[in-house]
Amino acid sequence: MTVASKDERQRNFVPERLDIPGRPELSPFLTVVSFSRCRSVGDDTILERATYEPDLKSFSNKGAVFRMTYRNTLGGSGRLIVRYDFLNEEYRAEKFVDGRSVGRIENRRWAAFLPVSRRFVSRMANG
């Protein structure tokens, strides 16, 4: 999706909404977010991949703002926090590695959020 340099490529995947029976409040959130990067080191090609899944127990809301944390399936300190504001129809996402923010984005409406999320995750593929 993004060519970072002549010998490094990144591809990222942002899927559909969560659809969990009996939990309609989770429907604004993503099912999974994957970060991957393919790069050349000498004669070798290295594929690095990290998948973040929603931590359903982390779901919370303050009024019309819903929040969910996504955790790296391989463990480690990487996490992605996604917030959705129902009143303003606005998404905000921020990625953390080792407790520090490494990137964030915001956008309105689901249809607009997905393409922007792809640009967002391509900038933050490490972690």
pLDDT tens track for 83-123: 998 888 888 888 898 999 988 877 765 545 444 444 444 44
Could you identify the residue written with the tokens 């080191």? 41
* pTM listed for this prediction: 0.69
Q: Is the pLDDT of residue 67 over 70?
A: yes
How does residue 32 score in pLDDT terms, banded at 50, 70 and 90? Answer: confident
Closest residue by Cα to residue 28 from 119, 121, 92: 92
For residue 62, what pLDDT is reported? Answer: 94
Closest CA to 123 of 101, 103, 106, 94: 103
CA dihedral 37, 51, 27, 60 (to 10 degrees): -120
Evaluate if residue 56 carries a pLDDT over 90: yes
CA 17 to chain centre: 12
